[in-house]
């Protein structure tokens, strides 16, 4: 089997399509995973530059750099690019690289569709970014694009934005179908579902979430399109529609979406912590059930984003309790990670540093989320910087730190070379300090009443905004160091061995699951089991 896999990859790499065409036409899961990862990193830098424009404007009160209109375009584009262009493609890239290797499959099940699902993304984001140069400017209605701001009062470029969103959705659905089909059909003989590494489990569940909610997003942007161009009134009260309907449909997509951006991160961290604690993951079964519970609950809490729209008190109570319930399986995961580290022989290589920071800071984000779930309190927090602080604690030290942890952890496997550990640790500490200096003070200015999405603010918020902006520039520029580390590792360096994480005996290149432990260079050896 291993010879088959090796030959399979060699055919891809040394065929007639040398050079550029190899990347355009490739159906190899490793190539496509690499394309996704580089694309997402490029989008991460673009979205990051937009964040720095926002933070530069907010460095002091008054209008410095930009007109308010452009400020709103930056907040909108930053959100859309980071969510759909940076975080999601990065996780799809990790899935492409790792899922086939973790389950002993020769490739993804649908390799041509895999190629297509990647290549529509650069065109989608090219179109989205092109709106910045159109008459009337880019979308300026926030990444949640609430109607009627995005329908009645939108710039003409909103039509291009809608088409770009459709393309991203098509890409996500195709990628997810591919993941599901691969996991359900191409596991090594004898590998049961409960034998799979947790990263594979989190991606299987994430893929089902994507297949379920991406059509909802397609539906809501299609309703926008009809309202704008075809005289319907889905969201126009004047024609018998309801602007609040937009929020219901959007958040029915949007809430599972935020879990789509964190579940694969749980899988990554569940791979890294056992390796550097030199222990098996604590509570494998409960981790699988917790992941599935989170996914299920994510569908029935959407209106907690809408506590202030005037829903009946029974609705508020239901959504409050349902939201708080998500804290239970999430807490199970956090305690399992801590129990895995407990009395382990821990070492603190770069991937482990990112993973530990993930556990601590993601927990902070979870606790502020619990505060936001409390209806009467949410009336005060809603649309302030407290909310911004909350979701950035979940998405930056959550999703993005886990992606960086994964990059450091698997780079030796991907490239055959070790990255520079000293530079890696430097990058970690700069990122860790930068992210906390940026987002922790936003809790304070939010509780003091500073609203989101405004380019100017009252004098009382000046000090913490200045601190926050300094942190943002530290975090932003330290990502250039990350770029340097990755390129340096790809270009060469100390050769990586099979047991690359020294001392993680019996855990080299594995993920913690019950049996089978296996190296990724060969498909897993499985215990003999009676077959039906």
Over residues 30-70, the pLDDT tens digits come to: 999 999 999 999 999 999 999 999 999 999 999 988 899 99
Structural domains of the chain, with CATH: 22-509 (1.20.210.10)
The helix or strand, by DSSP H or E, that contains position 226, with its residue range, turns out to be: helix 198-229
Report the C-alpha gap between 231 and 228 in whole angstroms: 7
Query: Which pLDDT band, with edges at 50, 70 and 90, does 529 fall under?
Result: low
Q: How far is CA 263 from CA 22, 287, 423, in A?
A: 32, 11, 28
In the annotation, is 304 catalytic? yes
Lowest mean pLDDT among 179-188, 404-413, 498-507: 498-507
Query: Which pLDDT band, with edges at 50, 70 and 90, does 518 fall under?
Result: very low
Residue 7 has what pLDDT? Answer: 42
In the annotation, is 10 catalytic? no
Lowest mean pLDDT among 160-169, 247-256, 334-343, 517-526: 517-526
Sign of CA dihedral 13, 32, 422, 360: negative
- The first and second tokens of residue 481, run together, are 């160091």
Residue 400 has what pLDDT? Answer: 98
Sign of CA dihedral 369, 219, 176, 413: negative
With 50 as the cut, is the pLDDT of residue 509 above it? Answer: no
In the annotation, is 57 catalytic? no
In the annotation, is 78 catalytic? yes
In the annotation, is 505 catalytic? no
Lowest mean pLDDT among 245-259, 431-445, 482-496: 482-496
Check if the beta carbon of residue 210 is closer than 8 Å to that of residue 297: no
Residue 502 has what pLDDT? Answer: 52
In the annotation, is 305 catalytic? yes
In the annotation, is 378 catalytic? no
Q: Tell me what the pLDDT averaged over the chain comes to.
A: 91
Residue 17 has what pLDDT? Answer: 53
Calculated CA dihedral for residues 254, 259, 261, 266, nearest 10 degrees: 180
In the annotation, is 382 catalytic? no
Write the DSSP symbol of residue 523. Answer: P
Residue 33 has what pLDDT? Answer: 97
Catalytic residue among 172, 275, 291, 469: 172
What is the mean predicted confidence (pLDDT) over 367-384? 97
Catalytic residue among 166, 304, 427, 443: 304
18 vs 97: which has the higher pLDDT: 97
Helices 243-260/284-297 angle, 10° precision: 170
Task: Give CB contacts under 8 A, 24+ apart, made by 512-517.
Answer: 512/197, 512/198, 512/270, 512/271, 512/274, 512/275, 512/279, 512/280, 512/281, 512/284, 512/340, 513/195, 513/196, 513/197, 513/198, 513/281, 513/284, 514/194, 514/195, 514/280, 514/284, 515/195, 516/191, 516/195
Catalytic residue among 333, 392, 443, 518: 333
In the annotation, is 345 catalytic? no
In the annotation, is 112 catalytic? no
In the annotation, is 330 catalytic? yes
189-221 pLDDT per residue, tens: 989 999 999 999 999 999 999 999 999 999 999
Sign of CA dihedral 183, 188, 194, 198: negative
Query: Which pLDDT band, with edges at 50, 70 and 90, does 367 fall under?
Result: very high
In the annotation, is 192 catalytic? no
Q: Which residues pair with 451 in a beta bridge?
A: 384
Residue 68 has what pLDDT? Answer: 92
In the annotation, is 13 catalytic? no
In the annotation, is 368 catalytic? no
Catalytic residue among 40, 298, 330, 431: 330
Catalytic residue among 12, 55, 255, 392: 255
118-143 pLDDT per residue, tens: 999 999 999 999 999 999 999 999 99
């Amino acid at each position: 089997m291993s010879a088959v896999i090796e030959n399979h990859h060699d055919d891809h790499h040394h065929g007639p399509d040398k050079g550029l065409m190899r990347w355009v036409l490739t159906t190899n899961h490793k190539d496509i995973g690499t394309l996704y990862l580089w694309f997402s990193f490029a989008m991460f830098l673009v979205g990051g530059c937009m964040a720095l424009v926002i933070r530069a404007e907010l460095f002091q009160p008054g209008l410095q750099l930009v007109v308010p209109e452009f400020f709103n375009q930056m907040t909108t584009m930053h959100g859309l690019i980071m969510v759909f262009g940076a975080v999601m493609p990065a996780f799809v890239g990790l899935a492409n690289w790792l899922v086939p290797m973790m389950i002993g499959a020769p490739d993804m099940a649908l390799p041509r569709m895999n190629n297509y699902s990647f290549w529509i993304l650069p065109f989608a984001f090219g179109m989205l970014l092109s709106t910045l140069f159109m008459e009337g400017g880019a979308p300026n209605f926030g990444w949640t694009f609430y109607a009627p701001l995005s329908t009645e009062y939108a710039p003409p470029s909103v039509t291009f934005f809608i088409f770009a969103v459709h393309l991203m959705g098509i890409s996500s659905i195709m990628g997810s179908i591919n993941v599901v089909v691969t996991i359900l059909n191409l596991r090594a003989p004898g590998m049961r579902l409960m034998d799979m590494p947790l990263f594979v489990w989190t991606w299987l569940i994430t893929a089902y979430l994507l297949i379920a909610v991406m059509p909802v997003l397609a539906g809501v942007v299609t309703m926008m399109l009809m309202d704008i161009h075809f005289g319907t009134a889905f969201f126009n009260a004047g024609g018998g529609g309801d602007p609040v309907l937009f929020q219901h449909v959007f958040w029915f997509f949007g809430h599972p979406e935020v879990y789509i951006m964190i579940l694969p991160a749980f899988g990554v961290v569940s791979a890294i912590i056992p390796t550097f604690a030199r222990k098996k993951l604590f509570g494998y079964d409960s981790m699988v059930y917790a992941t599935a519970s989170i996914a299920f609950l994510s569908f029935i809490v959407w209106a907690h984003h809408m506590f202030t729209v005037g829903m009946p008190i029974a609705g508020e109570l239901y959504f409050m309790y349902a939201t708080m319930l998500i804290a239970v399986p999430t807490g199970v995961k956090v305690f399992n990670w801590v129990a895995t580290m407990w009395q382990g022989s821990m070492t603190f290589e770069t991937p482990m540093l990112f993973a530990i920071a993930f556990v601590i800071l993601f927990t902070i984000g979870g606790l502020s989320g619990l505060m936001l779930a409390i209806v009467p309190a949410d009336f005060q927090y809603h649309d302030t910087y407290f909310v911004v602080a909350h979701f950035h604690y979940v998405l930056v030290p959550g999703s993005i730190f886990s992606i960086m942890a994964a990059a450091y952890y698997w780079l030796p496997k991907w490239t055959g070379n070790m990255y520079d550990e000293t530079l890696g640790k430097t990058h970690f500490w700069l990122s860790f300090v930068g992210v906390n200096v940026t987002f922790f003070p936003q809790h304070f200015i939010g509780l003091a009443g500073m609203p989101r999405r405004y380019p100017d603010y009252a004098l009382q918020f000046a000090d913490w905004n200045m601190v926050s902006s300094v942190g943002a520039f530290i975090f932003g520029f330290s990502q250039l160091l990350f770029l340097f580390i990755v390129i340096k590792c790809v270009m060469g360096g100390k050769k990586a061995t099979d047991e690359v994480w020294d001392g993680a005996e019996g855990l080299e290149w594995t993920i913690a699951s019950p049996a089978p432990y296996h190296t990724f260079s060969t498909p897993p050896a499985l215990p003999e089991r009676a077959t039906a």
